[in-house]
Structures are given as structure tokens and as C-alpha cells.
Structure 1
Amino acid sequence: MMMLRDKYPTVREIFGSMVFDRRAMKEKLNQDVYERLVAAMEGRQKLDAGLADTVAMAMRDWAVAHGATHWAHWFHPQTELTAEKHQAFTVPGPDGTPIDVFRGSDLIQGEPDASSFPSAGKRSTFEARGYNAWDISSPAFIVKSAKGGTLCIPSVFLSCDGTPLDLKTPLLRALDALEGRALKLLKLFGRRGIRSVRMTVGAEQEFFLLDRPRAQERPDIRFCGRTLIGAQPAKDQKLDHHYLGAIPPRILSYMEDVERDLARLGISIATRHNEVARCQFEFAPLFSDANTACDQNQILMETMRKLARQHDLRLLFHEKPFQGMNGSGKHVNVSLMDSEGNNLLKPSHSHRRNVVFLTFLAAVVLGVSKYHSLLQASTATAGNLFRLGGHEAPPSITSVYLGSALTELLSRLDQADVSLPDRGPMDLGLAKLPSIIPYDSDRNRTAPVAFTGDKFEFRAPGASQSIALPVTMFASLWAWGVQQMIDMIEERSSGGRDPMDVALDAVKEAVRRGSDVLFEGDAYSREWHEEARKRGLVQAVDVPGKIDLLLLPENKRMLEELGVFREHELEALHDIRMEAFVRSLEIEVAILYDMLWEGILPALSKQLILEKNSLSALDGMEFPEGEPWREYILGLGRTKAALIEDAHRLNELRGHMAELSVRERADLLVGTAVPLMDSIRKLCDAAEVNSAADIWPYPISRNLLSLSV
């Protein structure tokens, strides 16, 4: 009998086997080339053409040896997905003999057609030229297929005039802005041995899994990724039995396959578990540097999609697939790591280290206070329209939670006391159980931005989003905050004062200036929403308004000064995101209209005929109890009449929107179409519970949320 280990190699044996990382580079390149390549990766020297040719040859041989037949520049257009154009390694040689070709020029630069990618009208269809440029800081990897594989080369994507057409270029700029300023701040504190600082990111990924054959019978799930109609099932999440429960065997098998494929790509899943809603789950990877983490989250989502089909499952990343149940987010955890491996957001018992920690923490508070509108804009999507503000997601008002211990510490800064309370073991009153060392503060699950021990957790991004833009905006406002801290410390250090001594004064000033965004209570409460308005934290009330926040003059100015976005690039980003929001909702309007006429209204007719014929069969009989039956039939008729009327209104809206600008369509969709769709949903849900199961045209939520074994 074959041993399990023979059939399934261990994660240790396969980890990173499909990644051209430093381990593979060191094996395939001579020492001199390897050191020059690492220097280029770390920004200490430029990558010259000769070095690129050598690296390309080694990368080609490595990829072909692992079964790759094609290569592609792999990039992040502003669709929130990824793109790739496969090109073959093997071509005929001069005498017809097949040879493998992949040059340094191929590695460094590509030229995909850019005309059909989102550009907000900045490019005409005939202006097709676009450029890929190798992102040397993120490792190449092989995506295996049934008959080979493709070498994917992480890249940026630019138009012919250098304008970014992707989400990676602004991200890299923001990371440079933050990491360079963080390094400067550390040098002010005398830490001159630090060579670099890297922003680290870990993104928790929530998702739903449904039985694919059932889910595919629903046009709304197939084309919108969520249910547009559907009565809430009796057993949804009321008993709280699903959260962290035993993972169903079918789902565990899927998760294991996902983890194994990801391990080959050097991605380690730290945790997996059931989430709150039925059929909802979560993966959380280990932290990595921010740029690689963004790439890896996209790889994770694509791997999950591919394997879900193989397991006959339907994967949903939509932020709110089922009304009345938890939605799915993507909590983005961020920190800073120096070249010696120190987490700069980790509190310490050392006075000097705690001063450094508080300075970087205060920079976040200051940045969020000034530019919280950018965080709102970065998460303003069609899916988050239905998620943010619900009691399983943070409110759309941005606030920062630090916890009672840090809040108390900041209140003692006048005493130059930067020590955190030393909390001893928690007494459980049970001799057989080990002691528990508690954290300094509880966790506030209602805060959009929360300090959680040694990192900040940004909880507003949606599950379907690329994390690139939220991380870009967080890094940008943090970079601005760090620069403010540098300026304040340098001003106070005149006269030869030690920057470490004056840093606490700067921290106090930063916390004072940023206090408007600090909140320790229940961010769902009405009192907080009223207080947030008084503090000026409410700048937009709907998704289109939040997208518009990108164009606030102070946001444009800050992002341009940091070198993250030029003005025309930010305007293009705004227009692309507004158009994506509008098109997503227009698709939902069209699908709902089709479902009404193709399924719901005919089903009501069948139910009416069935009931009318049944009632008619009693003609001439003594049946005094028939009145409720007649009222029930009349109720079905009224529901159908109301749905027909609403369907006509929906169609009129579609016609009217064709005459409007994108921004006007956004307002009409939010103000009129979404409430109308909600009204239609209520009518359909009432009809569903009053119709026979064999007549209702679509699988109901009760069955969708029951995974077959």
C-alpha cells in the first residue's frame, strides 16, 4: 500500500519549488552575477543589459527544466485582476531545429496591446502601445498547467508616454516614499547601521464556497457574484455554530489543494478556518514585504478560482453575496521591518525602542487624521456599497483604535513615561490549565483602522479587491506622517538636543493634532456617527462621493509631492474607478431585469394558475373557509402586478442612464436604482416563500448554503 507521504510530498519538500527566488538564483548564477543581481534588487545598482542576458538565460533554463513551455509578463491593470500574454520559449532555429529563446531584452521589457485596458478615456483605441517593465523586486514564478506551465514575470504596465496603466507602479512609488523616510527617521535616532526598511503586509482573505451545479443555475451568482434575490434561510448564522467550527471534509480537501499549490509558489498559509456565515471561510497568509504580498494575494485568489472549479465548487469573493448574512472583507495588516529584522511597530520594555515605536505609531495617527479620505476612496467599490456599515464590517467613517494600554501611555507622555504596563499571567482558577499571558488591550472589531499589538489592521478593503490601492494609500499617508515627525524632531533638535529626547514632544504634538480620528468605543453606535460628523470625519456618504475624494486638492497635492501620483494619473484613477462602479451596478440591473421576466414572473403565473384551478375544483361545494385562499391568490396577483410595474421602472432607468455622463449615472444608480432593486428583492422574496419549490425557478438560499458532500 502506498504511504501517504509517497503520494503527497511534504510542504517542506515542495515549498518555493516553482519560484525563481534568491535560493534558485544562487543555485543557477555564479557568485558575481548573483551579488550584482541582489544589489539591483535592493536598489544599490542598476540592472545592465549584460547582466539581464545572463539572468534571462538562467531563468529560462530553470523554467524549462520545471516543465514551462511559455513565459509572460504578469501585471496588474486597473481592473483589480491580473493580465498576462503568453509567449513560447521554443521557436525554430535557422536550420529548422527547435531552440529555446528568452533574451535579457525579453525579460526586461514587453509590449502588450494597451488599447483595451481601462484608461479613463486618456487613450484612443488607435493608441495601442503599452509597455511592461520587469519588477525585479518581486520573484518570477511558474504557474503549472495540465500540459506544461508558464513562467510569470511580475511587471509594471505603462503607456507609451510613461503614464501608469496599472496598480503596481503607484504602489512601488508609495513604498519608496515611506521606506526612504522611515530610514531617514531611524538615522535621526542614531540607528545608522540600518540599511533598509520594508513595509510588511498580511492580507486575510474571506470567501464563500457553494456547490457549483446549484450556484450555476442562478444568473445573479454567475454574472454578479452575489444573489440579487433570495429569502433569508431559517438557519443562517443565528446560532453562531459555524464560526471556527470543524471544517467540512469537502472544503478541507479543497483548502489542502490550494495550500499545496501555493506552497510551490512560496506562499505560506498561516491559518484557515470557518468564518461567521454558513459556507464562509478564511485564509490568512504569513506576512511578506508589501509589494510581494500584493502579488501573492492575486496569486492566492487565482489559485482558489482554478481549484474551486476542479472541486466542483463555486467560489464567491463578493463583499455581500447573501442579504442578512455576514459579508466578506480582506483585512490588511501592515507594519515596518528594518534590515535587522526589528518590527518598528512592536512595543518594547526598552525606553529608547519605545520612543521609536511611538514615533512611527504617531505618524500613522497623524496621517490617517489628515488623509483618512484616501482610505475611504481606496475601498469605495460596488461590493463595499453593500458591506461597509453592516455590523460585521467596519463603518464607512474612518477612525483609529489604539487600545486602552496605548491610550493610557500617550496620556502619560508629559511625565516622559513610555513604559507599557507589565501584565502578568491571567489566573484562570484551574490548576490543570497553563497560565495565559494577555495582550495589553482588547481588540475592537468595529474600528476601520486598529492597532493590534504589533501592527495596524485596515479592515475596510473588500474581499474581491486587489490590496494594491489600499496599501498604496496607507503607505502614502504614513510616509506623509513620518515626514511630519522628521520635521518636528529636526526643528526641536536645534541647539544640539538629542533627537531621542525631543521625539516625545513630537509624538505629543502629533497625537494632539490627530486626536480627531482616535476613538476607543463602539464605532457602530449612533453616538459615534454624530460625534464623527462634529469632528469633520464624514466627507462623503455614498460610494461615488467617496471615489470623488481622490480629487480633493489636498489629496492631489500630497500624493504628487510624494511622487505617488501625478495629477492626471490621479484623475484617470478616479474616472476608472467611477466607471467600474457604474458598470458593475448596471450589470446587476440588467441581470435582475432578465431574472424577473425569464423566471420570477412566469413562476408567479404558474403558481396563480395552480391555485386558481385548485380553488375552482371546489365550485358548488360547501367551503366556507375559502376566503383566505382567495386572499392568498389575490396577494400573488398583487405581487406580480407590483413586480411588473417595478420591472418597467427598472427598464426605463436603463434607457435614461444611456443619456447621462458616468458621474450622473453613478448618482442615479445609488439614489434610484439600488433602492428600486431592494424593493424588487423584497417582493421576490415574499413570492418565493409563497410558491411551490418545484415552481420557483432558481435554487433558494437554503439549498445554496447546504454543501453536498
Structure 2
Amino acid sequence: MDFFGKNVFNDAVMRERLPKNTYKALHKTIDEGLPLQLEVAEVVANAMKDWAIENGATHYTHWFQPMTGFTAEKHDSFISPTHDGKVIMEFSGKELIKGEPDASSFPNGGIRSTFEARGYTAWDCTSPAFLREDAGKVILCIPTAFCSYTGEALDKKTPLLRSMETISKQALRILRLFGNTTAKRVTPTVGAEQEYFLIEKKYHQKRLDLMLTGRTLFGVLPPKGQEMEDHYFGIINERVTAFMQEVNIELWKLGVLAKTQHKEAAPGQYEIAPIFTSTNIATDHNQIVMDTLHKVANRHGLACLLHEKPFAGVNGSGKHNNWSLCTDEGVNLLEPGKTPHENAQFLTFICAVIKAVDEYAALLRASAANPGNDHRLGANEAPPAIISIFLGDELSDIIEQLKNGKPNSSKQGGELTIGVSTLPSLPKDSTDRNRTSPFAFTGNKFEFRMVPSSLSIADPNVVINTIVAEVLTQMANRLEKAKDFHGELQAILQEIAIQHSRVIFDGNGYSEDWVKEAARRGLPNLSSTAEAISALISEKTTELFKNHGVFSATELHSRYEIYLEQYSKTINIEALTMVDVAKRQILPAVMRYSTELANSINTIRTADPEADVLAQRSLLNELSPLLKELSLKTKALQDATSTAKHLHGDAYKQGIYYRDVVFKAMQELRQVADKLEVLVDYDMWPLPSYTKMLFRL
């Protein structure tokens, strides 16, 4: 309590340091979206500078989130020269509001050219500034948006803020129809659970694949994996506990509401989860969480792996995006209440989500697409690539009732009796949870479980906000014209229940039967990023984002180009890394071991011509053809990457080639190398094994 938020220029600090009229004017901008006045920014900038300097800061940065998916910053000091050769510490309102970092080398998807490199950062006053402490140096970080000279968004934050504006506007239209005249804003809220792996830093430094790609490109499973199910929620050892404690302290000082920590399903895997906050701040906080995990791990001699599938055959990592809608009066619009069948406002928003997810399933899938997630989705550890909604018994029953007219009952949970006299009876939820569903209702929110662990949560939330806003728009347009509000509302909800219930599935999302059933229902199954990204530039998507002012056609197409390029580049880097490791580490190691075996045979036969060296010969005979095959597969992969480069002019064609040809060649090379790993002497194999990395911590 004493240090939570101590490094944040939060509301308490602003209330203390800003004049009352400035504080109120700033809150008008934050709470109601009113334009920010320069004179207000001047006062805020001076107070922010004084606070930062008092806490040890010498520099400030406009902290932004470019299309790389990471954060970016350029540091400027507060010093300004005086006529007598000294300096004073200054920070103006103009410097707070606008920066010009250039930043021409970030992905832009054709929005700007290098010779037209001007880019701007703009202060996002809805997300508080904070102090970051690194190696004794303190930097004032000011969350900002990043746009081009012509106004197009070059970042993740700008479209997120736009999407929050549009869903607030459309949700308020619905609330007004239900008689709410006092709410001024509806805010999408998010709690982003973050999964990650920890391994010894020394092993990470010995593996080129982990250093360059974030995942192991070679490696066989250890004799023991996660099949005993003893890691999940297990006791956390002292070393990891010390790491988690420091992570929590760092995050709490930055105002991040880190709440939960535990071991995840796979050995070496963990999770951290925060309390909900507004989507914009939650997105900033998740970036801070990922950065903090890496930074603190390094201090403890550890490496934090955020890749979706760092170890083949071992449970991968996701990022569960828990999304809801709340008014500025504190009402959760997805809270069903005790009798949800009678809660027309709740049913309206639930049905809006159902229709939105069904109509824009491909777009929602695209928002969670990256190369790492292609390894994870549908692998009996994560939701399949098919988008469906889990509602649970209670809400599924109400939707069925809606199909036939007005619902008249809600299933009650009752009590759960454990059967031990000393244990209390527990109130039983009216529905269970479904961990195989990609989009599950979990009480008063939807949990989008498909989001990759390394990805910014901005893209998924931009999509969720906008598609739900679109359906709310359609509803409001009809209801505002209706002579009989209740009759028209009943008709709308019934239509949605009949036309969009195909997306509702409460069964086992991992089963092959569901894949067949989903195909019968006409649900898309986009198994790879290269396929999924195409949804970004469909006519339907372009019209959606244009109508809501979230993306222009130019901005959408730029993202399509960027994501496809990133997909191809990622696989290309992985392929080239495999070639390098195979040529310079694995091949020499196998040859050394083969030579040692041959020398051993010769030495033994020299000492005793009658000695039985069948075991040594047998092993050598296994190694020789595999060694030849390894060389051939390495050459084949090298050739495949060379061919891929010639397809550079067509991003989609190149992406499909990397998926179908290069990735296949990578798998074939890995199969040979992994066969060799189990034959070569443990101490001579050049790469730290899965056993060492997953179990020696």
C-alpha cells in the first residue's frame, strides 16, 4: 500500500500538484473526450517535470507502440541552456503534447517513404505517465500515439483509442433507449493473463535458436514431460518465488494491478494475471508486464520466453484477454444478475456480442494471428483456429428460449455439497467453464483465449470493440425508429438467436468431431496466419472500420502488408538460424562423435582383433546415413529460403510459400537432427537439451 503507484503520475498525484481548475479541465478531456487545451498542457507539463525530477528523472520520452508489436522510445533531457553557459530544467506543454521522433525505420506498410520520414507522437492523457527505473537511471515515460505526417496511424494505440470511442458512442445509444440518461461514457475493460516460460540464462545463451527466434528449432522431448500433471498450480520454488516477488514490486510501483501468479501446465511455465482496467491502460500495462518479466528474469540469471511455442511437444503459452463493458457509473453491462432472462439490457449486449463474433469470426481470428500461434492453436492445449462462443448452460438455455419467443426462466446453480461435515456448502455457479473455447463467457465478461502470448493485446481489442460497436449501431438504428420499443427489441433478439446460434458451442473444442461439425455449420477454420490475415482487406472489413472511423482503407492495407511481411520474415529468420546451427554446430558435433566411435573401434580391434565391436559398429551405421541426410536437408532448406526471396513482390504469395515449402523443409530438417540427438553422446551434443532447460531450475 505504501509504494503502489509511487512511480505513476496518477490521479492522486495530479490532484495534489495541479491547480483545481487545471485538474478539472484535464479530467474533462480524460473522462468526456473534450479537446485538450494548450494552457492546460503547460501547467500539467511543469507539474509532471517537477514530480519526475524530484524522483530522480533526468530525461523524458514519448513512449509509443509501433507496428512491431513492441514499445519504442527516444530520450530527451530536461536541460535547456542559459546565457551564462549553465542549464535549467524545462519541459513545455508543446513538448508534452507533441513529439517528432522521425522513427522512419518502423514498419509502415507503404504509408510513408523514407524520404518522407516525418512522424509524430501525440500525448495520450487517458493513460498516466510513469517513471521507469533502469540500472539507477530514471526516465519519465509519457504514453503517446504515433502517426504519419498525413495523419495515418502508424501504431497500435491510435486505432485502439478510436475503437474505444466508437463502442462508447454506440453503447450509450442503447443505454439511452433503456432510459439511462446519466451515463456519459462506456469503457471496454480488459484483464490480460500472461503466460511465460523461465529457463536458466546460461542455457538461453548457448542456443542460437532461442536468442534469435524465441523458440527451440531443434530438440527432443525429455523422458518426463507434463503427463503427470504435477506442475500445474504446484509449489513455486524459492528462486522463482524471488523472481516473482521482484516482478510484483516493479509492477506495483508502476500501478499495474498484478494479482495472481502460479505455475502453468508445462514444466518451466508460469502465469501472471492482473485486475481489470480500461482497455487502453490494460494494453499499456501488458507491454510493461512483458518488459518487466524480461528485465527481472535477467537480474536473476534467468531468461523469460514469451514465444507461443518455445518447446515443441510441450504446452505453449497464450494470453487470455478478458473483455467486458462498464459505464462510468460503475455498471458492468455484461453482468447477468440473478434472473438474466428478465434482464433485457443484459440480453441486448450479450446478443450483440454473439452476432458480432459470428459475422466477423475471420477478422477476430486474424487479430490473434502470428507465426508462433500457428504452432499452438488446435494442438490440444489451446482453442482451435475455429472461432466459437461458449455461453454455459444458463445462457445457452436462454438463447434457445429466445428462438421460440420471450425467455421466461433462468437455470439456477444451487449449492455444491462436498460431503465433508467440516467443509461448508458452496454456492454453485449456474454454469461451468469451458477451457477449450476460444471465446468463452465467464460470468460477467468474455475471455478471448486465442491471443498469442507475445502479441500486443491492442489488435484483438480493436476488433472486439469495433465489431460489437457495429452490431450495437444496427440495433440502435432499428430501435430508435421503432414505435414499439419492446416489441422491436424482442424481434431483434429473436433474430440473432435464430440466425447466429451456429457460433455457440459448449462442447469439447479439441475434438475432431467439432472440426467436422464446425465445417457443417459453415464456420471458418483458418489454420495459418498467412490465410487469416487476408480478412483484414476484405470489402466487409474495410467498410466496417471505415464506417466507425477506426481504420482507413490505407491503414488497413498497410497492416495487411506489415503482418504478412512479418510472417515471412519470422519464418525466414528461423530457417536461416536452422541452417546455421545445423552447419556449424550439429554437423561438426556428429562428425566428431562418429570419428570418436570409429577410433574406438580401431583401438579395440588393435588391442584385441577378436573383440566384439558390434554395438559400436551398429551405432556408427545409424549415424552415417543420418549425417548424410542432415546435410541434404540443410541444403534443401537453404535452397527453399533462396527461392522465397524472389517472391518478395507479392506478400501473400510469399507468405504461402513460406508456410507450404519453407516451413515443411524446416520440419524435415528438425526430424533428422532430433534423431541424431538421441544417438550422440549427451556431453557432445552442442545444444542444451529440453531436460536441462525445463527441469534444472
**TM-score of the superposition, structure 1-length normalised?**
0.95
Structure 1 counterpart of 2:321: 332
Structure 2 counterpart of 1:609: 595
Q: Deviations over 1:530-587 (max 9, x none)?
A: 2222222226442211111111111111111111111111000000011111111111
Amino acid at match of 1:610: E
Matches within 5 A, 1:108-123: 108-123=97-112
Q: Deviations over 1:162-197 (max 9, x none)?
A: 011001111111111111111110110011121211
Are the equivalent residues in 2 in contact too, given 1:352–1:500 (CA < 8 A)? Answer: no
**In 2, Cα distance between equivalents of 1:681 and 1:351:** 53
Do structure 1's residue 64 and structure 2's residue 50 form an aligned pair?
no
Deviation at 1:622? Answer: 6.7
Structure 2 counterpart of 1:596: 582
Do structure 1's residue 645 and structure 2's residue 635 form an aligned pair?
no
Amino acid at match of 1:608: S
Structure 1 counterpart of 2:465: 475
Deviation at 1:638? Answer: 0.7
Do structure 1's residue 562 and structure 2's residue 548 form an aligned pair?
yes
Structure 2 counterpart of 1:520: 506
**In 1, Cα distance between equivalents of 2:406 and 2:117:** 60
Structure 2 counterpart of 1:431: 421
Matches within 5 A, 1:382-401: 382-401=371-390
**In 1, Cα distance between equivalents of 2:122 and 2:391:** 40
Are the equivalent residues in 2 in contact too, given 1:351–1:418 (CA < 8 A)? Answer: no
- How many residue pairs were aligned? 693
Deviation at 1:654? Answer: 2.0
**Structure 2 CA distance for partners of 1:247 and 1:339, relative to 1, 3 Å:** same
Matches within 5 A, 1:84-233: 84-233=73-222
Percent of matched pairs sharing the same residue: 39
Amino acid at match of 2:627: K
**In 1, Cα distance between equivalents of 2:256 and 2:525:** 38
2:107 aligned counterpart, secondary structure:
coil
Do structure 1's residue 444 and structure 2's residue 434 form an aligned pair?
yes
Structure 2 counterpart of 1:507: 493
Deviation at 1:114? Answer: 2.9
Q: Deviations over 1:619-643 (max 9, x none)?
A: 3747585445423211100110000
Deviation at 1:353? Answer: 6.9
**In 1, Cα distance between equivalents of 2:343 and 2:409:** 7
Structure 2 counterpart of 1:453: 443
1:412 aligned counterpart, secondary structure:
helix
Are the equivalent residues in 2 in contact too, given 1:355–1:500 (CA < 8 A)? Answer: no
Are the equivalent residues in 1 in contact too, given 2:220–2:674 (CA < 8 A)? Answer: yes
**In 1, Cα distance between equivalents of 2:441 and 2:88:** 55
Are the equivalent residues in 1 in contact too, given 2:386–2:526 (CA < 8 A)? Answer: no
**Structure 2 CA distance for partners of 1:531 and 1:624, relative to 1, 3 Å:** farther
**Structure 2 CA distance for partners of 1:27 and 1:102, relative to 1, 3 Å:** same
CA RMSD after TM alignment: 1.6
Amino acid at match of 1:454: N
Do structure 1's residue 636 and structure 2's residue 623 form an aligned pair?
yes
Do structure 1's residue 654 and structure 2's residue 641 form an aligned pair?
yes
Structure 1 counterpart of 2:569: 583
**In 2, Cα distance between equivalents of 1:454 and 1:501:** 26
Structure 2 counterpart of 1:288: 277
1:45 aligned counterpart, secondary structure:
coil
Match of 2:5 among 8, 16, 19: 16
1:99 aligned counterpart, secondary structure:
strand
Deviates more, 1:557-566 or 1:620-629: 620-629
Are the equivalent residues in 2 in contact too, given 1:347–1:353 (CA < 8 A)? Answer: no
**Structure 2 CA distance for partners of 1:350 and 1:634, relative to 1, 3 Å:** closer
Amino acid at match of 1:485: M
Deviates more, 1:198-207 or 1:431-440: 431-440
Deviation at 1:415? Answer: 5.7
Structure 2 counterpart of 1:6: none
Do structure 1's residue 421 and structure 2's residue 408 form an aligned pair?
no
Q: Deviations over 1:403-440 (max 9, x none)?
A: 11111122223463354323222111111001111211
**In 1, Cα distance between equivalents of 2:331 and 2:639:** 60
Q: Deviations over 1:626-663 (max 9, x none)?
A: 44542321110011000000011111112212211233
Deviates more, 1:21-30 or 1:625-634: 625-634
Deviation at 1:518? Answer: 1.3
Structure 2 counterpart of 1:8: none
Which consecutive unaligned segments of at least 5 residues does structure 2 have? none
Do structure 1's residue 370 and structure 2's residue 356 form an aligned pair?
no
Amino acid at match of 1:655: S
Are the equivalent residues in 2 in contact too, given 1:381–1:543 (CA < 8 A)? Answer: yes
Are the equivalent residues in 1 in contact too, given 2:340–2:346 (CA < 8 A)? Answer: no
Structure 2 counterpart of 1:73: 62
Deviation at 1:485? Answer: 2.4
Match of 1:547 among 528, 533, 537: 533
Matches within 5 A, 1:253-272: 253-272=242-261
**In 1, Cα distance between equivalents of 2:234 and 2:525:** 40
Deviates more, 1:507-516 or 1:637-646: 507-516
**Structure 2 CA distance for partners of 1:707 and 1:619, relative to 1, 3 Å:** closer
Are the equivalent residues in 1 in contact too, given 2:98–2:121 (CA < 8 A)? Answer: yes
**Structure 2 CA distance for partners of 1:351 and 1:614, relative to 1, 3 Å:** closer
Amino acid at match of 1:583: K
Are the equivalent residues in 2 in contact too, given 1:363–1:484 (CA < 8 A)? Answer: no
Deviation at 1:76? Answer: 0.6
Deviates more, 1:662-671 or 1:273-282: 662-671
1:187 aligned counterpart, secondary structure:
helix
Do structure 1's residue 673 and structure 2's residue 662 form an aligned pair?
yes
Do structure 1's residue 530 and structure 2's residue 516 form an aligned pair?
yes
Amino acid at match of 1:214: Y
**In 2, Cα distance between equivalents of 1:148 and 1:696:** 41
**In 2, Cα distance between equivalents of 1:348 and 1:500:** 20
